[in-house]
Amino acid sequence: MSAEPAEKRAPRRSVPPNLSVLRRRTKMHVEFVDVDGVSLRVGTRRGRGRPMLLFNGIGANLDMTLPLINALDDVEVIVFDMPGAGESPALALPRRFRSLARLAAKLLDRLGYDEPLNVAGVSWGGALAQQFALDFPERTNRLVLAATSTGMLALPARSNVFKRLTTARRYQKNETLAHLAPALYGGLMRRRPDLLERQSRHPAGLSTRGYVNQLLAGVGWTSVHRLYRLRCPTLIMGGDDDPVMPLVNIRLLYWLIPKSYLHIVRGGGHLFLLVRANESAAVIKRFINERRYDGTDGQDYYAARNQPADGALKPLLAQDS
C-alpha cells in the first residue's frame, strides 16, 4: 500500500521587521562629547515628541538599554555611559549625585536640548534621576523611576545579595554573571538566565575604579526629605520578585512623591525593563502620553509647535504649494 502524499503545510508567516521589536535595529547615533573636561560616550536615538533622558543602572553601558529603546518605538531617547562604565573613561575622584546631575544638565546643553524633557532612571540611575528632577525642576517634564529607592533610608537587600551587587566581577566575566543572575536579579532570570546574554551586551571597558566611584556617589545620599518638592507627574515601577530592591522601597517612593503613579510588575525581577521590554515600554508610553491638561503631555508639546496631536506632519497639498 502506497502512502498518501503528506499534506503540504502553509509556510509560517514571518513578522514584518518593522513590527518586531526583536528584529528592529535601533538607529542610534553614538559619539563622544566633552563636558567640562569629562569625556562621555553618548547615544541619541532621534524620534518625535518630547525627548527622554535615560539614566542607566550601576556599571551598565548604553548598549544594555537597546531592548527598551527599541520597544519605545519613536520616542526620542538620550542615554550616556557614566564615567568608568562602558567606554566613558573613569574619573580620578568620585563625584556625588549632585555633581553628576549637573554634568547631565551640561551635556543636554551641549546637545542642544534646552526644553523640559521626560526623565527616566533605573536602579542606581533612578536615584540620579531623582537628584536631577529635584535640582533641575524646570528641565524635568515627567519622571519615570524603575527598581530604585530613596537611598540611605531605604530597606536594604539581604546581605548575600548586597555582597554580590557590590562586586564588579559580575560585569567583567560572562560566566560569573550567568551564575549570579538567577539569585541576584530574580524574575525571569531564575528560569532564563540566558536572556541577559541574548538581549544585552556586557559593559565593555568597565573599570573597577569607575564602579567604585559609582558606589561612592550614593554613600549617605537620601531623597526622603526632599521628595515632597517634586511637582512633576511621576511613574514608579517595581517588580514583586526583585531581590535587589524590595517592594517596600517602591511603595515608599509612591507615598512620598505627590503626583505619583504606581505600577507593580507581577513576577518582575530587577531587570524587568530589559527582559520584559515590550510590557515596560507600553506602561511608560501610556504614562508620558496621558492627557493631564497641565502642559506636560504630548498634545500640549505638539500644540505649542502648531503640529497635529500625534506629531505627524500633514502632507503638502497641491493647492498649498
Largest CA distance in the chain: 85
Whether 123 sits among the annotated catalytic residues: the reply is yes
Alpha carbon distance 49, 269 (integer Å): 30
CA distances to 205, 252, 313, 316 from 165, in Å = 18, 22, 47, 55
**Residue-level length of the chain:** 321
Catalytic residue among 88, 123, 200, 223: 123
In order, the DSSP letters of 190-257 are GT-THHHHHH--PPTT--HHHHHHHHHHTTT-B-TTTGGG--S-EEEEEETT-SSS-HHHHHHHHHHS
Q: Which residues contact 130 (CB under 8 A, 6 or more apart)?
A: 121, 143, 145, 148, 150, 223, 227, 230
CA atoms within 13 A on the CB side of 160: 5
- Joined grid coordinates for residue 82: 557614566
Pick the closest to residue 280 from 89, 146, 118 (CA basis): 146
Cα separation, 23 vs 45, in Å, equals: 17
- The side-by-side arrangement of strands in the sheet containing 260-265 is 28-35, 38-45, 75-80, 48-55, 117-122, 140-146, 234-239, 260-265
Active site residues: 123
